[in-house]
A and B are shown apart, each in its own frame.
Chain A
Amino acid sequence: MLQRYWFGDVDEEGCRAAGTDPAALAERAAALRTGMDSFVPIKWEIARDCGVVRTREEYVDLLRSVCIALARKKIVQSYQGRDVELLQMVRMLDELDNVINLLQERAAEWYQVTNPSFSRKYRSLPAKKMLGIIRKGARGGLSDVADEIDRLAGTRSRLMREVSARADEVMPNTSALIGGLVAARLLSKAGGLETLARMPGSTIQVLGSERALFSHLRGGTPPPKHGIIFQHRRVHNAPKDVRGRVARVLAAKLAIAARLDYYRGEAVPEFLKDAQARIDDAGVEA
């Protein structure tokens, strides 16, 4: 029975070595297909008798170089997808949000003790505006911190535009239905475009509401209607009694869109037109 090993082919007649160059061996090994029914584990002595190596040490050394070369190649391949960087971008964006909020809260607390007459009650004070007040009013360390927060906020908005643009490019159909940012967040939650494309609509619908989902599955609580997709206006603007329906229909269409994005990689206008109409219908109260 012919056995195809990484160092060469072995059968009853003997052994044909495939050389000793790690790169060439790696390339050959990547193409090997083994049937497990007839597989016999390697005895390293065969490689010695074959003339590939002289000692056990040499055997492991050469095998290691081949496997490391192969692994490097596979790592490079797996990072080639356009979605891999988008994933990191959107995760960084969400982390920036967290950090900026934390810093802002802390800065406001600090400003409040240095300025007894300052209060956030009875006035709508968006973060941006409050930061402006602090930057103007504070001195020393606090004002440095406020400047830094402001710079971070600028970085954040630039990154957000970048995420949105990249999402439009990487997942055109999904982005067209739900917007680049939310599409990218779905991608990040799923872990990749391929994983997202393999998800059923029902999973996409509750991505990001795992806590509510598992507390529901464990018993008692009502099931979540929506996860990340709630961030899309068509879901959160929908009247409460049809919101679940909108979320369900939207998620179902997103599942199709993600597959189109993964397998075709370009926008499909006919699909988008139908899908948009169907989602709009779902939002009309019966």
Chain B
Amino acid sequence: MIRLGNVLVSPGEGGVYGERTLDGYRVWDPYRSKLAALYTLGGGIELTPDMRALYLGAANGTTVSHVADYVETVYAVEFAPRPMQDLLEVARRRRNIVPIMADANRPEEYAPFMEAVDLLYQDVAQPNQVEIAERNLVFLKPGGHLILMLKTRSVDVRRDPAEVLAEARTGLEKRLDIADVRWLDPYHHDHAAIVCSRRE
């Protein structure tokens, strides 16, 4: 990852969402992007130019645009029409983003477009986040990585976030090796990042 001083940045055409630029690089704000928070906190998987990524919960394409600056191809899945309009505009300017309007719960909807990816990144506000990740593992290469941004409040607002995280870990451990788990405080509250790798 590229850092200027201790500021996380990404290379690429700026002006996607009014982000600041620094020496021609785009500043990647940890308060806005959970993935940026994870890297700022010292975790995450190094993004490399030969990587292909599947991004679930692409929303307005803010974080997607930064990921696209680093990797070869991003498959960006989003199913709400409003943010999809913005995502299409981002994809129009970045030729390595493939925007897919589909429900991450139903991978069969977008399977005909998918190749195997090195990175599966998931940031969806759904109660069954672990289940969604499991369903999408079919697209992940053996040895590839899953970064799951667990929104504990979306799973169940009434339960203790730590408890929700523990349950998610048990669920993921069945098919994946967990490499790193951390909370995203102080940037995002009640959000945990779980980094796993798929067994060979």
B130 to chain A, nearest CB (A): 17
B100: A residues at CB distance < 8 A: 67, 70-71
Stretch at the interface among A38-46, A112-120, A252-260: A38-46
B97 to chain A, nearest CB (A): 7
B121 to chain A, nearest CB (A): 17
With A64-B97, A74-B81 known as contacts, the answer to whether A36 contacts B115 (CB < 8 A) is no
A61 to chain B, nearest CB (A): 7
Distance of A66 Cα from B75 Cα, bound (Å):
13
Stretch at the interface among A26-34, A149-157, A165-173: A26-34
Distance of A35 Cα from B111 Cα, bound (Å):
9
B92: A residues at CB distance < 8 A: 68
A227 to chain B, nearest CB (A): 17
B135: A residues at CB distance < 8 A: 36
Q: A218 at interface (Cβ–Cβ under 8 A)? A: yes
With A39-B111, A42-B115, A75-B85 known as contacts, the answer to whether A64 contacts B98 (CB < 8 A) is yes
| Contact present for A72 and B112 (CB under 8 Å) | no
Q: B126 at interface (Cβ–Cβ under 8 A)? A: no
A10 to chain B, nearest CB (A): 11
Distance of A6 Cα from B115 Cα, bound (Å):
11
Q: B30 at interface (Cβ–Cβ under 8 A)? A: no
Distance of A68 Cα from B88 Cα, bound (Å):
7
| Contact present for A29 and B138 (CB under 8 Å) | no
* Interface 1/0 per residue, B90-108 and A, CB below 8 Å: 0110011111110000011
Closest to A5 in B: B112
* Interface 1/0 per residue, B123-141 and A, CB below 8 Å: 0000000000001001100
Instruction: Indicate which residue in A36, A68, A78, A218 contacts B107 across the interface (CB closer than 8 Å).
Output: A36
Distance of A163 Cα from B51 Cα, bound (Å):
50
Q: A79 at interface (Cβ–Cβ under 8 A)? A: yes
B178 to chain A, nearest CB (A): 23
| Contact present for B157 and A36 (CB under 8 Å) | no
* Interface 1/0 per residue, B29-64 and A, CB below 8 Å: 000000000000000000000000000000000000
With A71-B88, A74-B81 known as contacts, the answer to whether A44 contacts B98 (CB < 8 A) is no
| Contact present for A41 and B116 (CB under 8 Å) | yes
Instruction: Indicate which residue in B95, B97, B139 contacts A41 across the interface (CB closer than 8 Å).
Output: B139
A280 to chain B, nearest CB (A): 37
| Contact present for A33 and B101 (CB under 8 Å) | no
Instruction: Indicate which residue in B84, B95, B111, B115 contacts A64 across the interface (CB closer than 8 Å).
Output: B95
Distance of A66 Cα from B100 Cα, bound (Å):
10
User: Nearest 3 A-B pairs (CB), nearest first?
Assistant: A71-B101, A41-B116, A78-B81
B interface list, Cβ under 8 A from A = 73, 81, 84-85, 88, 91-92, 95-101, 107-108, 111-116, 135, 138-139, 157-158
26 contacts between A and B (CB under 8 A): A4-B112, A5-B113, A6-B112, A29-B113, A32-B112, A33-B108, A35-B108, A36-B108, A36-B111, A36-B135, A36-B138, A39-B138, A41-B138, A42-B113, A61-B95, A64-B95, A64-B98, A67-B99, A67-B100, A68-B99, A70-B100, A71-B84, A74-B84, A74-B101, A78-B81, A79-B81
Q: Apart from A70-B100, A75-B101, A214-B157, what are 20 other A-B pairs with CB-CB below 8 Å?
A: A5-B112, A6-B113, A33-B108, A34-B111, A35-B108, A36-B111, A39-B108, A43-B116, A60-B73, A60-B96, A63-B98, A64-B91, A64-B95, A67-B101, A67-B113, A68-B91, A68-B99, A74-B101, A79-B81, A218-B158
